Amino acid sequence: MQDKPTNFPAAQPGGAPLKSITEVLLERRATNSFTDEEVPDEYLQAILKFGAQAPSGYNLQPWRFVVVRGEENRKRLQQAAFNQPKVGQAPVVIIAVGMKEEWKQTADEIFREGAERGAGNPATVEQYKQGALQFLSGFDPALWVNRHTMIAVTTMMLVAEAYGFDTAPMEGFDAVAVRREFGIPEEGEVVALLAVGRAKEPDKAYPGRFPLERIVSSESYGEAWKEK
Ligand SMILES: Cc1cc2nc3c(=O)[nH]c(=O)nc-3n(C[C@H](O)[C@H](O)[C@H](O)COP(=O)(O)O)c2cc1C
């Protein structure tokens, strides 16, 4: 594994400052059509590296990503994504995959290294691993990898927005076709696609969100939460 990455671009391409967290969260819209303007490599690297900093249960990092940039490949991916035009248009589409089994092999390395870095006790690594194996055996593997992989995808989406790019998260794809076309192993759960690039048209209108009173409870489910 590696240390915290450094040397990220400090500004948007062209020099505008990075967007603030408020701008990132309020200006992001799911983008429907993209220009063919490239995402410069250093920005794509930054988006991926920040995404890889996402948290996961036991730090098992079950996510894997296939970065699709080749025109032919994007067209193939578009076919597997119910022909959504944005998949073929965007210069970059990231296929986010959650590996349902691989973590059982990598857990040792992760726990040992975590302990060496001071984030655990080297003497109890084996015990910790057995505890994790037992605890996680109670979860539906597809659900478990989805939970973690989407945090990384969300992180990438917000980082891309901070750098001034536009994104489109997608669940509209045939997972079997995506797996087959892009050589993804059988145990790989195709969790989402994330298109990154530049919007061709002005953002669509803000579609609205539930007020907090509808989605937040106080202390116990259904107990009124008052938005201040
Ligand atoms: C996990 C996920 C999957 C989505 N899948 C698709 C999709 O396949 N096609 C699409 O056009 N939009 C898709 N969207 C975009 C949503 O429709 C959009 O985020 C939602 O309408 C809210 O709009 P906003 O993101 O601009 O606020 C998806 C969004 C998320 C978070």
CATH code of residue 189: 3.40.109.10
| 91: in domain | yes
Task: Give the pTM.
Answer: 0.97
Domain annotation covers residue 222: no
Beta carbon of 198 within 6 Å of any ligand 1 atom: no
Q: Which residue has the tokens 């202390």?
A: 219
Residue 206: per-residue pLDDT: 97
**Residue 217 CA, ligand 1 centroid: distance in Å:** 25
Question: Is the Cβ atom of 207 under 6 angstroms away from ligand 1?
Answer: yes
Whether residue 85 lies inside any domain: the answer is yes
Is residue 92 within 6 Å of ligand 1 at its C-beta?
no
The residue whose CA has the least distance to atom 30 of ligand 1 is: 169
pLDDT digit string, tens, across residues 189-223: 999 999 999 999 999 999 999 999 999 999 999 99
Evaluate: CB of 202 within 6 angstroms of ligand 1: no
Determine which helix (DSSP H) or strand (DSSP E) holds 3, and give its type and residue range.
none
pLDDT for res 228:
77
In a domain, 147, yes or no: yes
Determine the structural domain holding residue 156 and report its residue range. Answer: 21-200
Helix (H, G, I), strand (E, B) or coil at 28: coil
State the closest ligand 1 atom to the C-alpha of 172, by its place in the atom list counted from 1.
Answer: 8
Is 214 inside any structural domain? no
* pLDDT tens string 22-76: 999 999 999 999 999 999 999 999 999 999 999 999 999 999 999 999 999 999 9
> Considering only 27-41, 48-62, 78-92, 113-127, which range has the smallest mean pLDDT?
113-127
The residue whose CA has the least distance to atom 9 of ligand 1 is 170
Tell me which residue has its CA closest to atom 19 in ligand 1. Answer: 30
**CB of 93 shorter than 6 A to ligand 1:** no
d(CA 21, CA 214): 24
Residue 208 domain-assigned (yes or no): no
Give yes or no for a contact between 191 and 40, defined as CB atoms under 8 angstroms apart: no
Question: How many structural domains is the chain composed of?
Answer: 1
Does ligand 1 come within 6 angstroms of the Cβ of 118?
no
15 within some domain: no
Q: What is the pLDDT of residue 204?
A: 94
- The answer, yes or no, to whether any atom of ligand 1 lies below 6 A from the CB of 172, is yes
In sequence order, what DSSP letters do the residues of 153-209 get, joined into one string?
A: HHHHHHHHHHTT-EEEEE--S-HHHHHHHTT--TTEEEEEEEEEE-BSSPPPPP---
- Asked if the structure places residue 220 within a domain, the reply is no
The residue written with tokens 């920005």 in the block is 43
